[in-house]
Amino acid sequence: MTRVRVYIAGMGLISPIGHGVSQTKDSIKKAKKGIKPLSLFPTPQKEPLPVGEISESFEINDIPRTHRLALIAAKEAMADFKDIPDAVVVGVTTGGMAITEEHLKTGNRDPKSFKYHSTGSVAEYIACEYQCKGPVITVSTACSSGTVAVKIALEMLRAGKAKKILVGGADSLCRLTYYGFSSLQLIDPAGARPLDRNRRGMSVGEGAAMMLLVSDEDVPDNAIAEILGAGLSCDAYHPVAPHPEGEGAIRAMLLAIKDANISPSDIDYVNLHGTGTLDNDLSEAKALNAVFGNKKPQLSSLKGAIGHSLAASGAIEAVISAISISDGLIPANIGCDIPDPELDLNPVMKLSEEDVEIVLSNSFGFGGNNASLVIGSPEQGRHPVPLNKTLHLTVVGCACITGAGNTDKTIENVSGGKSCKGMLSISEISKDLPLRTVRRLKRLPQLALSLAVAAHESSGLSHTPSSIFFATGWGPLSETYDFLTKLYESNEQFTSPIDFVGSVHNAPAGQVAIMFESTGPNITTTGGDYSFEQSLMAASLLANDIEDTILVIGADESHKVLSGLFDRSVLLDEKLSDGGGALCLRKAETYSGLKISPLFFENAHNNTSVISSLIRILGDPKKINDEYGSLFVGIPSACREVGEKQLREFLSLSGFTNPIIDYRKFTGEFASASAVASVLAFRFAQNGEIPKRLCGGNTFSLDGKGILILGLGNFVTAIEVIT
């Protein structure tokens, strides 16, 4: 198959208005409103605010609510399929936060209780349930996460990297988001009223939606709808507020329309982001007026009915957009009594039943992360698109930070066989950053900004990067801990809005975009020890859409309380360590130099042949030894026994005898250590040799060969740095 189209073959969802597609259709027809006062947890100081809460209760055990919601949606999406999906891509912001909050509140400090805390554990939980052996990717771009996940899945299918992908979004209510949005004064006490003249804010919600996307040249019998295109952009304007003129939203919509090879006039219905906040509705309205002028299609927001389910919202709205197409339903704009005349929009006030061929669905999030999706009816007449060529990316600049110091100091230590473990002081991290930029920022965003600035400076490019890809295993721990600590110390009365804004995983990437005015895709991935590999894969998949420089950053902070609770590897090392790495990249077709490419990403669970699969992808033993002069190996301490067994198998099957560098023994244990390894590999390959202290006493010449970076353990990954 050399040309493909991408279809929704199965879909499932759960939201405050329905458990499943059928129930959701009935609720849409009845204009059901699922917003009511919070009951999921007590609010000691005030009457509970209205939220989009799912009435269904779950038995109490160690599986968090977000994971359960995601599995409910996945089971419905996969109900008619026995095949194992090739990949799982999920948008998430809260992960296991609801259970984590309870443990921290009661003083539970048993690391086993935090097994499912990580944002990335939701996708891993789903992948394990369906025995997926391929890539498992978690997107965390705040409220656009679910839609961005669909874009990444779409590009994987278009590139021929998979033929069927389970994709979606999930989030549950928790104290962090409930009190966080309240502290920003963004909650409407009467419930969300999108586009209404008297609107006062949003309603926080919860839910999940999953879709099985399949690629084919022809329309399959089970096709519900077709993913025609998607567009991503970043406002690069403010950590929370949207661009007042909707500039980023305009770009995302136009890019999605262009990607779908249609015109604005082809769109029958726009599923709005429509949160009900003053600024968001006004910004989106200006963007819609700019894109459609006086010929706007039918439009409505679902958030007055279901609330804003954060990362799940884009996926839920994608499923409902598909329902609009398959059943000819345009949902009413629940909560709106009198449309705001300033918006110059005419939302659908009552359910409309009419033919719908093409829908545009919008999702906009914190950090100015914008995503738009075009979904159409699966018509026979459309032409499939050629498979995208996955591009190699040329490294034009790099930087890293470890406990030893900056890039040069880290390379000096590793070259001399010395440890880089530990943590730099925050003043050392931020010494080259403007004081006004970092005065309210804590450790992780300062790490990300410092890495971004250093990598860009090393590139020598006069223009700044257009797109930011950020990877973090655990996100901003300082902000999360400080927010919850203040909340509990005040008996849930006081919180810090600054800490809430900074606690989302994509906050550091947003800060980098603002500094560089980077308005291209801004994507944060989070998958524990394999987060950087996910980010590099996303950058490679989306490179065809990006004309300019790409900045890929991986960073994690260590926290004296949370790191040991969340990351088992941290407990097995003698010293708290953190840091990260950054690569400034351009398309290989337009720039010469050393190239970096993600080659392999497979789930090692229930996959006894994972190393054989790796060897097969790399070529054969002769090719491996001809291509690579050194092997960089990352084995998290918590996976040391499994990882070393995998390494022995790799060496046995490949016959590789050149220098092997176990880089975590130098960097220490933190999730994004592979970002540092990528910088080290690039610099050693650039110098053409492996220092003698790493080779048993004699410098090893690479003789023009590249370096292979392997991640081992729960997942097996491979990145190459080659000439």
- 67, 308, 505, 559: the catalytic one is 308
336 is catalytic: no
CB 341 within 8 A of CB 197: yes
Does 308 participate in catalysis according to the annotation?
yes
Side-chain-side CA neighbours of 21 within 13 Å: the count stands at: 22
Q: 441: closest CA among 379, 508, 385?
A: 508
DSSP symbols for 461-506: -SSPPSEEEEE-SS--HHHHHHHHHHHHHTTSS---HHHHHHHSTT
Cα 545 to Cα 542: distance, rounded to the nearest angstrom: 6
Rounded distance between C-alpha atoms, residue 3 and residue 1, angstroms: 6
CB 511 within 8 A of CB 445: yes
Contacts of 686 (CB under 8 A, 6+ apart): 594
CA distance 152 to 541: 7
- As a whole number of Å, the CA-based R_g of the chain is 24
Catalytic choice (67, 117, 273, 456): 273
Helices (H), 567-672: 568-571, 610-618, 621-627, 640-654, 664-667
Q: Please state, in angstroms and rounded to a whole number, the distance separating the CA atoms of residues 490 and 484.
A: 10
Nearest to 632 by CA among 587, 581, 666, 604: 666
What tokens appear for 270 in the block?
């726009």
- Is 392 noted as a catalytic residue in this protein? no
Q: Are 398 and 682 in contact (CB under 8 A)?
A: yes
Encode 82-98: b = buried (16+ Cβ within 10 Å), e = exposed. Answer: eeebbbbbbbbbbbbbb
The secondary element (H helix, E strand) that includes residue 349 is: none
Residue 639's contacts (CB-CB under 8 Å, 6 or more residues apart) are 529, 569, 712, 713, 714
In the DSSP assignment, the letter for residue 548 is: S
For 509, the token pair is 């990437």
Instruction: Give residue 358's identity as a one-letter amino acid code.
Output: I
Catalytic residue among 132, 143, 234, 639: 143
40 burial (CB, 10 Å; 0-12 / 13-18 / 19+) is middle
Q: Nearest 5°: phi and psi at 709?
A: -105, 115
Measure the CA–CA gap between 281 and 274, rounded to whole angstroms: 6
Give me the residue label for tokens 């409103």.
33
Contact 620, 431 (CB under 8 A): no
What residues are labeled active site? Answer: 143, 273, 308
